[in-house]
Structure 1
């Protein structure tokens, strides 16, 4: 489960950063400065990365045997700016609770 957690953590951070760039840089450029070029690049990138996030999150959730409600909340965390960072910390803590203590 350690590899699944690492994949989730990396993808959660990447999706979070790309979403923040999209919201705080690309969208203002489009609407305030009439420059839609950056949105045309960042939006598909975020869309693809969010699909990767969904797969990685679902994989972690199935390995950890989490309930559907927890899984859905984690899946939705990639759509709200900054929430993927919070979800990553929360999921990491939950997975580490499941792991046995080192001897």
Structure 2
């Protein structure tokens, strides 16, 4: 049985979703760092909602990244690395830039 081929349009759509979620995750992770500084250094309460939003955005990032990984057939180790990049401030955005360039070159997007 042959595998169904993935079209460049499907890859482009998955890449766009991944890119958007990588940036949103990065921005909300910076906001989470701000929330933690405000809470533990300045003892400001009431910003706990930032952690909740970040958690949900990161969850959706995981889904979009896994979707892209399946479509472009990333190895498991690379997939896990890209997933974990979203847990370190700014690293997820940098990894997104590198992966986007690689995918665009590889698939002629």
Indicate whether the TM-score tops 0.5: yes
Aligned match for 2:78, one of 62, 65, 70: 70
Q: Give the TM-score normalised by the residue count of structure 2.
A: 0.86
The 5 Å alignment of 1:1-103 reads: 1-23=11-33, 25-38=34-47, 40-100=48-108
Q: Which has the higher helix share?
A: 1
Structure 1 residue 33 displacement after superposition: 1.7
Q: Which runs of 5+ in 2 are unaligned?
A: 1-10
Structure 1 residue 79 displacement after superposition: 0.5
> CA RMSD of the aligned region, Å?
1.1
Greater than 6 Å deviation, 4+ residue runs? none
Number of corresponding residues: 99
Distance in 2, matches of 1:13 and 1:54, equals: 13
1:13-65 alpha-carbon deviations (Å, 9 max, x no partner): 01001101111x21111012211311x11101111011000000000010001
